[in-house]
Amino acid sequence: MDGIVTDVTVGVKRGSDELLSGSVLSSPNSNMSSMVVTANGNDSKKFKGEDKMDGAPSRVLHIRKLPGEVTETEVIALGLPFGKVTNILMLKGKNQAFLELATEEAAVTMVNYYSAVTPHLRNQPIYIQYSNHKELKTDNTLNQRAQAVLQAVTAVQTANTPLSGTAVSESAVTPAQSPVLRIIIDNMYYPVTLDVLHQIFTKFGAVLKIITFTKNNQFQALLQYGDPVNAQQAKLALDGQNIYNACCTLRIDFSKLVNLNVKYNNDKSRDYTRPDLPSGDGQPALDPAIAAAFAKETSLLGLPVAAVPGALSPLAIPNAAAAAAAAAAGRVGMPGVSAGGNTVLLVSNLNEEMVTPQSLFTLFGVYGDVQRVKILYNKKDSALIQMADGHQSQLAMNHLNGQKMYGKIIRVTLSKHQTVQLPREGLDDQGLTKDFGNSPLHRFKKPGSKNFQNIFPPSATLHLSNIPPSVAEEDLRTLFANTGGTVKAFKFFQDHKMALLQMATVEEAIQALIDLHNYNLGENHHLRVSFSKSTI
């Protein structure tokens, strides 16, 4: 399994075209955060080489080995699944580009994803790494077309403005009949969950409701937007695209229904406007009236056209990048990694003064059930971590590689070891190896646990649960401030059993989670801490 990672130079070596200089740049206080520039061959000569090996994360990414005819839209699309793209600079003469994302967190998620799955544009592998630049300052007068592309793509992404005649889509958006889409998935070689669909389709607007079911041995779904325009844009961008390389092809039509009646919130159906709905314990989530209407609808359409395996790859086509969001969401394993894949991770560049098996168990336990941890006796800045299965090790690698733990940027790769060996009976290894196989703290032991739906990249905002009634906001603020960071914001949920708490940085939040997950708050309540996708 080691082969997945070895042929990609992501995030390790700095690019050779890193020093932005010359007239391409505007003044340092320029406010051009959402503009695009394409530098022609002459402009690109102004970009001097600067080979640095420090690989520190940045929200600006340096993309190399681009095919000559590649467009701005295709490069922007690489970044879209991971967050808002705020700027792009194409160096056409050098087959390179700089892409700026809105947040460093989005850039880290993107680099981690593409380190496991080599990105391709026009069937050619390309290379993505962090730039030395913390932001792109560009002169927007150089290229109006590129600017229009970024604005058009952003419009699709935020779904505030209808598209018409832009570089993204040739067909203008006409008002759609229904805000409800009917989705069929062909060639489903990997599982596609309700959460994956939500992650992909949210890129085009607020998703209100989803119902999934199997009909004629095919996974199908009904998905309702707040606005028919969003449904139209999603259908334009995603119909015929693959969620994963050469499989899981989306077939999208408008539904005749204009509203979905969701009775239960579970892994088959969800109403995002009504979090209070019961889970229904395996009751059919589909309203009988909807089921009848749906049966009529499917019989009219006949059989869906089978996709040609391998004909489309989600990273080879501009709009399909939105589909790669499923992998960015990290809810399912990457292509080619089976659940039985490599379960052991090698973590390096650890702070050997601070790190313990317990701290690694707590952090990596956010993404899977850690079985064993071994800090290497002769190289105490490295550790082997054995997860419960290959999906979990892949998730942990995607989300934690490049994050900061105890002040150092850690590197996470798949190990060639199949298991972590325990020390021989009677041999003292100074507590460097620990077996967590029977730990009561595993988050994913129960099949169908709601923890599976709440796996998010490290973020400054933490989700706290299991808070006893006697503990007040001030107590929690003090507790978290004592981990060495600054508490920026706090919000209790209505029932006061859960809360959101925002630290100043992602690194501080990681530290607080390591220190305080399972902290005893009294009254037999142990605090549960996880990363949140929300902000306060």
Domain positions in the chain: 60-136, 180-271, 344-422+429-442, 452-531
Q: Where are the alpha helices (DSSP H) in 91-227?
A: 104-116, 144-158, 194-201
Stretch 238-244: mean pLDDT, rounded? 84
The whole-angstrom separation of Cα 196 and Cα 207 is: 12
Residues 344-422+429-442, CATH architecture: 2-Layer Sandwich (3.30)
Task: Using DSSP, state whether 359 is helix, strand or coil.
Answer: helix
The residue type at 247? C
Domain 452-531 has what CATH class?
alpha beta
Q: Between residues 144 and 182, which one has the greater pLDDT?
A: 182
Comparing 60-136 with 452-531, is the CATH topology the same?
Answer: yes
Q: DSSP characters for 18-84?
A: -B--STTS--TT---TT-EEEE-HHHHTT-B----------SEEEEES--TT--HHHHHHHHGGGS-
Thinking of the domain 180-271, which architecture would CATH place it in?
2-Layer Sandwich (3.30)
Q: Which of 51-55, 196-200, 215-219, 250-254 has the lowest mean pLDDT?
A: 51-55
Interval 380-397 mean pLDDT: 92
Q: Alpha carbon 334 to chain centroid distance? A: 12
pLDDT of residue 29: 33
Q: Which whole number is the average pLDDT over 450-472?
A: 90
Residue 241, pLDDT above cutoff 70: yes
Helices (H), 222-376: 228-238, 288-301, 325-329, 357-364
- pLDDT tens per residue, range 110-138: 888 788 778 888 878 899 999 999 988 77
The architecture CATH gives domain 60-136: 2-Layer Sandwich (3.30)
Q: Answer whether residue 528 shows pLDDT above 80.
A: yes
Sign, CA dihedral 35-41-44-49, equals positive
Question: Taking 80 as the threshold, does the pLDDT of residue 444 lie above it?
Answer: yes
pLDDT of 181 over the 90 cut: yes
Q: How far is CA 257 from CA 102, 179, 183, 224, 475, in A?
A: 37, 8, 13, 9, 49
Strand-by-strand arrangement of the 127-130 sheet? 36-39, 85-91, 96-101, 60-64, 127-130
Reading the block at residue 410, the tokens are: 């850690």
Give the pLDDT confidence of 413-433 residue by residue, as tens digits: 999 899 999 988 777 778 899
Specify whether the CB–CB gap between 166 and 236 falls below 8 A: no
Nearest to 506 by CA among 368, 373, 407: 407
Is residue 226 within 8 Å of residue 176, measured between CB atoms? no
